[in-house]
A = this chain, B = another copy of it.
Amino acid sequence: MVTDVLNTGFEVPIRGDATGQEPSARDEVESRGSRKQRTREALLEAALRLMREGSSFTGLSLREVAREAGVVPTAFYRHFRGMDELGLALVEEGGVTLRRLLREARRGPVDFTDMIRSSVLAYKRYVEDNRLQFLFVAGERAGGSPVIREAIRREVTHFTNEMAQDLRALNALPGLSTATLQMICGLVVNSMLNAAIDILDLPPKRPDLEQELVENFVRQLRVIFLGARQWQEQG
């Protein structure tokens, strides 16, 4: 909590990680737009941060988020009409995170000898690097309010289609129709999001469990791709 002794009636929103510079006497000027965007991001970040501890997004309150962002509750409304709208913004953010994953994979080192395993390891690292985003997307995909669930579904479908396109471009699984590729990628994406939950719930100091989880995921993907190749042969 910030004790505003001077009671100026104005307070720079503080992020919890305290990366922002203090509002000293020598403030450099900041355009209004950029400041607005800064608190907007502070709100989004606050919501994600709160989700890490107590349960899920649905259980979050507007005031709670505002408090965590270092902002008075009424200021929330300058940015979002309500929690649902903030949720939709988070969905979009999650969407770009997902698509970035594909983009990075696209120009990553292609290890043909053990492509699946190296992909899984890269994915695991990516999930851990973007904990909160995945926590939100995977968590609200089935649980959240209908409007948010719908938005996530759309985003996931988008991701799936893009992945199918990549698979086609790579010419893995040649001879499969686009529809079939999408169906297979749907399977893969489901498994990915599921694995994400498992990864995030992993107890902190258990490399054995990590290992087992990775191996299991690798095997599951192998099954899928074996089946996909087989599909191709049977028309």
Q: Which residues of A contact B (CB under 8 A)?
A: 54-59, 138-146, 149-150, 153, 180, 183-184, 186-187, 190-191, 194, 197, 201, 216, 219-220, 222-231, 234
**Do the beta carbons of A222 and B231 come within 8 Å of each other?**
yes
A58, A142, A149, A222 — which one has the most chain B CB atoms within 10 A of its CB? A142
| A55 & B223 in contact (Cβ 8 Å cutoff) | no
Report A153 CB to chain B, min CB distance, Å: 8
Known pairs A55-B144, A58-B58; list 4 more (Cβ under 8 Å): A140-B143, A190-B194, A226-B231, A230-B230
Task: Specify the chain B residue showing the minimal Cβ separation from A201.
Answer: B149
9 nearest interchain CB pairs?
A227-B227, A143-B143, A223-B227, A226-B227, A226-B230, A56-B143, A139-B143, A58-B59, A55-B145
Query: In the complex, what residue of chain B is closest to A141 when comparing beta carbons?
Result: B142
Determine the distance from Cα of A194 to Cα of B160 in the docked complex, in whole angstroms.
15
Residue contact B186 to A216, C-beta cutoff 8 Å: yes
Query: Of the candidates B142, B187, B220, which one forms a contact with A143 in the assembled complex, judged by CB atoms under 8 Å apart?
Result: B142
Alpha-carbon distance A147/B138, docked complex (angstroms):
17
Complex Cα gap A149–B202 (Å)? 13
Instruction: List the B side residues contacting A55 at CB < 8 Å.
Output: 58, 143-146
A-B contact pairs, 29 of them (CB 8 A): A54-B145, A55-B58, A55-B143, A55-B145, A56-B143, A57-B143, A58-B58, A138-B142, A139-B142, A139-B143, A140-B143, A141-B142, A146-B201, A150-B201, A153-B201, A183-B216, A183-B223, A184-B223, A186-B216, A186-B220, A187-B191, A187-B220, A190-B194, A223-B231, A224-B227, A225-B227, A226-B227, A226-B230, A226-B234
Which chain B positions have C-beta within 8 A of A222?
227, 231
